[in-house]
A and B are shown apart, each in its own frame.
Chain A
């Protein structure tokens, strides 16, 4: 390839360092560099995405394509009368709010504690982050075994420390199953969010906190009036990230309860999956997945915005 030298007319008129408008010059070359990524991305992500959308307007049962009929918005109308669908939406919301609040609060508390020159801070951080690398399937099976009312260790442990009143069938009881899932969710990723907050805490200028201390602020006042307000954008980011993560829940529930008992832990992803694969309602299952996609998309846009705001605040 030959050396390029920018000698195009007009460039010199621009302020140095200003962004030059995209020109056609590299078009063909760009295509060569982009082609492999586009091949996989369009072939195996975008086409299934469009396919999901398309199938949601059909009543296909998933066998042969000649049975595929377009039914317009029928699947979406069907949702209105589907009690399990609404229960799933409700459970998704409960999960998002409960898990996001718990993760954020625990992550913030631990980040602040570890920020205060605690000994072994790195050790604790390493330990707290560890569950995030354990797969959700392993997490789900381990907790299913540990929580089992006949064989698990959780109930005997509660008995041993005098909390017998709390023992029970953690995953088999309709009232307990969803809160149990929330706890497992929190266990799995609170360390990730704590790590983000520790990074943000480290980004707060030391002089600000120093001067507050010199002015006689107590630790509580220092956090209340300086650290927390400056951390607010980061807390927002973590809260939304945690929420999106919990909204996307699938493996944990699939492994631990399959949405049961009697739909007590059913969420959009498990219900859509069941409809498409077990009940052969590929059309209806796809429509549920589309609702899930739209809601995830909306949450992600919110997150990108708040992230941008957080960055602007830092700048």
Chain B
């Protein structure tokens, strides 16, 4: 009975994804004939049809996600160091100010944000990367809590040995905060990779699109061509899915940390 419930939920969870994955290797007419049937042959025509576009979109997504992630990690680590190890007036107030970003949904800012980047005269992928750089609240929160947990004696000892602030950050604190860095990396990666609203508004040219918007543009451009559409979905999903299966333990730990510390 217990297992029946668990299996039923598992099936409900996994089937839509599985269906999308196996439909991507069925020719469109086979999908239309029987939406359910698993593929009888390996057919890569759908992937051929979308490969050219998808390669560009995947390249854009990798570029945007990679650079944004690097920016967020660097600025969060530096800011978290200031909040955790330096003493200055208004520290806690500024910290609370930096956390406002946690309470703001991105789609509420996108109207003014779009007008603002036009005023600045930037657009496309550059505007997107700069904008993601602003979403560092989560990173600062997590890294600070890791830095705060490092025993004072360790930092004092390093200081006695003549270590500079930079050395203390890079040689002492960051290695000890590795699980925190992993948490920030995983959640930022997923968020930026899957983000929808910023690229929807900021990216105007087809060759700039990221994967999620590419999928939608494909739909409106071609009507619903089932096979190729399934191939775009499969490519878009396999990358985060593999990342999840590899980093599953870190991901689970990150959720638990997020819930306790949030």
Contacts and interface: CB of A to CB of B under 8 A. Distances in A.
Interface stretch (A76-84, A137-145, A171-179): A137-145
10 contacts: A1-B164, A44-B113, A44-B134, A45-B100, A46-B134, A130-B241, A199-B256, A250-B105, A254-B200, A289-B107
A292 B108 contact: yes
Interface residues of A, number: 102
B89 A269 contact: no
Given A41-B101, A293-B104, A126 B248 contact: yes
A229 interface: no
A151 B32 contact: yes
Given A4-B159, A41-B137, 15 more contacts: A27-B89, A37-B136, A40-B133, A44-B116, A45-B131, A47-B116, A118-B3, A129-B252, A130-B17, A135-B193, A136-B194, A141-B229, A250-B196, A255-B196, A282-B111
A309 interface: no
Interface stretch (A18-26, A96-104, A161-169, A210-218): A18-26
A180 interface: no
A3 B9 CA distance: 59
A197 to B, nearest CB: 9
Contact of A51 (B19, B115, B196): B115
A134 B237 contact: yes
A52 B111 contact: yes
A251 B9 contact: no
Interface in B193-243: 193-194, 196-197, 200-201, 211-213, 215-216, 219, 224, 226, 229, 233, 236-237, 240-241, 243
A187 B74 contact: no
Given A250-B107, A272-B111, A191 B13 contact: yes
A43 B130 contact: yes
A120 B27 CA distance: 36
B224 A145 contact: yes
A124 B7 CA distance: 8
Nearest to A44: B134
A127 interface: yes
The size bracket of the interface on B is 35 or more
B109 A22 contact: no
A238 to B, nearest CB: 8
A127 B14 contact: yes
Contacts of A134: 17, 237, 240-241
Contacts of A248: 105, 107
Interface of B: 2-3, 5-6, 9-10, 12-14, 16-17, 19-20, 32, 35-36, 71, 74-76, 78-79, 81-82, 86-92, 94, 98, 100-105, 107-113, 115-116, 130-131, 133-137, 140, 159-160, 162, 164-166, 190, 193-194, 196-197, 200-201, 211-213, 215-216, 219, 224, 226, 229, 233, 236-237, 240-241, 243-245, 248, 251-252, 255-256, 259-260, 262
A133 B190 contact: yes
Contact of B236 (A129, A135, A187): A135
Contact of B112 (A125, A191, A286): A286
Given A26-B86, A191-B13, A289-B108, A141 B140 contact: no
Given A44-B130, A135-B194, A269-B105, A130 B13 contact: yes
A62 interface: yes
A292 B105 contact: yes
